Structure 1
Amino acid sequence: MIKLYGTPPTRALRAMWLLNELDLAHEIVSIDLGAGEQLTPEFLALNPAAKLPVLVDGDLVVSESAAIQLYLADKYGGRFPGGGLIPATPEDRGQMYRWLFFLMTEIEAPLWRIALHSFLYAPDEQSAAEIALARRDCKRMIAIFEQHMQGRDFVVGAQVTVADFNAAYTLDWAKLEDMLDDAPALSAYLNSMYARPKAPVTIAKAMAELDA
């Protein structure tokens, strides 16, 4: 059985969404970051970077949430109604990769910088100036993605692809930071993605459940 190390609200949600959409039997293995379970020899043998998520499928170990998404879609996409989650033509695949990497490098990266300087770094390492710069950079890139999504139901083509499941989680994170107020197309798109029957919990809901 497939094992996924990591639980909401971490980036494991990206992988969980693909597992749900593909109806793949899997086991969720919780890793308590606060207790340092990501630093145990057993987990470091899976991912020396000590980060979540990690997918184990037989003898194969895959880390990095976007890589996990692409792997699942590539191997098991035939199970998805209407075909795979990776476009059929090189041209459409190129556009999917373009926006997938754009999301990871241009929108998620500043969101991660905000998280680091807000609560993950030690207090003496945190920088309000760095947070302000990250918010500026992120909003600029969100504006570009907002323009791309005008009149679109999906990131690429006429059906859902891996890029959409990545985008939904990333935009949900941006929403949590109040960055979608000037992005009506992205807000509507985000709502439509999380209205899917097999969508996972939102980041906000997962965080509320942790605090409960």
Structure 2
Amino acid sequence: MKLYEFGPNRSIRVRWMLQELGVDFESIPVNLMAGEHRRPEFLKINPAGKIPVLVDGDFVLTESVAIVLYLAEKYPDKGLMPTDPIQRAQVSRWLLFTATELEQPLWRIARHTTLYPEDQRLPDDIRLASQDFKTMADVLEKHMQQRQFVVADRVTVADFVVAYTLDWANEAKLLDGCPQLLAYMKQMYARPHAASRIAQAFASVKA
């Protein structure tokens, strides 16, 4: 397997899954800050110019959530995807919740703070996106009371996606008032095979 990745971004989700699974893979760094994702040779792999990309033999897969789901299904003996249909549905529920209700406000904040040219940034959208995130984070905060993992009583693929997204929110200083989520995030990143935190990954890129 080959993982085209950029340390600080959603590549972390896929790297974390691979490390938890104990799967050998080749890391191929693609420096977004240097524009390497726009090079013709990379666009042949992913015309969208996005990272991460997993290449497994002749199979090329993009989108981090799709990749981690594929890996969970490819290695069922590792138990990262439940076999019970209700629990599987709950995994899908929280993956979709994270990608739509939590991640999208974070993207809006990132676009209007750093990604868009200054003359295109909308400060009001940062405020609205922050409110949207906090409202939905409160839903997850209540869900995680008395829980160690997002679904069932053991770690699943959903936990790696959720934990990374919470680390992103923590970087944006949006987890104040969410003690359950902060504790859960720290617990997840304390796992022996956890990936780097976002801040650590950024530091390594800058270095």
**Higher mean C-alpha displacement, 31-40 vs 190-199:** 31-40
- Counterpart CA distance in 2 for 1:146 and 1:34 is 34
Letter in structure 1 aligned against 2:114 = F
Which residue in 1 is equivalent to 2:145?
150
Matches within 5 A, 1:151-166: 151-166=146-161
Instruction: Specify the alignment match of 2:83 in structure 1.
Output: 88
Whole-angstrom CA distance in 1 between matches of 2:76 and 2:62:
19
Deviation at residue 15 of structure 1 after TM alignment:
0.1
Indicate which of 129, 132, 135 corresponds to 1:134: 129
Equivalent AA in structure 2 for residue 62 of structure 1? L
Question: 1:8 aligned to 2:3?
Answer: no
- Shift of residue 210, structure 1, vs aligned partner: 2.5
- The root-mean-square deviation of aligned C-alpha atoms, in Å, is 1.0
| Counterparts of residues 192-207 of structure 1 (less than 5 Å) | 192-207=187-202
Distance 1:36 1:193 in 2: 31
Q: Which amino acid aligns with 1:35?
A: A
**Scaled by the length of structure 2, what TM-score is found?**
0.97
Conserved in 1, the CA contact under 8 Å of 2:72 and 2:80? yes
Deviations 1:52-79 (A, max 9, x none): 000000000010001010001100232x
How far apart are residue 34 of structure 1 and its match? 2.5
Q: How far off its partner does 1:183 sit?
A: 0.6
Find the counterpart in structure 2 of residue 58 from structure 1: 57
Cα distance in 2 for partners of 1:75, 1:132 equals: 41
Give the whole-Å Cα distance in 2 for the aligned partners of 1:49 and 1:96.
27
The answer on whether the counterparts of 1:22 and 1:77 sit within 8 Å (CA) in structure 2 is: no
Instruction: Check conservation: 2:6, 2:32, Cα contact below 8 A.
Output: no
Off by >4 Å, runs of 4+ in structure 1: none
Partner of residue 73, structure 1: 72
**Which residue among 172, 178, 183 is the counterpart of 2:173?**
178
Seq. identity, %: 52
Tell me which residue corresponds to 1:38.
Answer: 37
Separation in 2, partners of 1:38, 1:205: 21
Whichever residue aligns with residue 93 of structure 1, its letter is R
1:208: how far off?
A: 2.2
Structure 2: gaps of 5 or more residues: none
Distance in structure 1 (CA, Å) of the matches to 2:170 and 2:71 = 26
Q: Which amino acid is 2:72 matched to?
A: A
**In structure 1, C-alpha distance between the alignment counterparts of 2:120 and 2:15, rounded to whole Å:** 32
Q: Distance in 2 between matches of 1:35 and 1:187?
A: 32
Deviations 1:112-160 (A, max 9, x none): 1111111111111111111111111001110010011110001010111
Q: Is the 8 A contact 1:53 1:63 kept in 2?
A: yes
Determine if contact 1:12/1:52 at 8 Å carries over to the other structure.
yes
Match of 1:125 in 2: 120
* TM-score, normalised via structure 1 length: 0.95
